[in-house]
Amino acid sequence: MKLAKLLPLIISDKERHAKWLNTLSLMENTGARKISACEDPLTVTYIVLKHAAEEHRHAFYLKKQVEKTGDSLCPTYQPAYLLAPTQSRYYLNQLDIDVCRYLKNELGVKGQELRFAAYLLVTYAIEVRADELYPLYQEALEKAGSRVNVKSIILEEEGHLEEMISQLKNFAAEWQLHAGKAVELESRLFSGWIEALAADLSLQ
Ligand SMILES: [Fe+2]
Ligand SMILES: [Fe+2]
- Amino acid 115 reads R
pTM to 2 decimals?
0.95
Q: Which ligand is nearest to the CA of 26?
A: 1
Q: Which ligand is nearest to the CA of 56?
A: 1
Instruction: State the pLDDT at residue 59.
Output: 98
Ligand 1 center from residue 110 Cα (angstroms): 27
- As a whole number of angstroms, the distance between CA 68 and CA 147 comes to 6
- As a whole number of angstroms, the distance between CA 100 and CA 96 comes to 6
CA angle 128, 129, 135 (to 5 degrees): 100
Contact 115, 48 (CB under 8 A): no
Ligand 1 center from residue 108 Cα (angstroms): 29
Ligand 1 center from residue 135 Cα (angstroms): 13
Q: How many CA atoms lie within 13 A of 173 on its CB side?
A: 0
39 φ/ψ sector (left φ>0, alpha ψ -120 to 50, else beta): beta
pLDDT, tens digit, 9 for 90 and up, residues 27-55: 999 999 999 988 888 999 999 999 999 99
pLDDT, tens digit, 9 for 90 and up, residues 89-137: 999 999 999 999 999 999 999 998 899 999 999 999 999 999 999 999 9
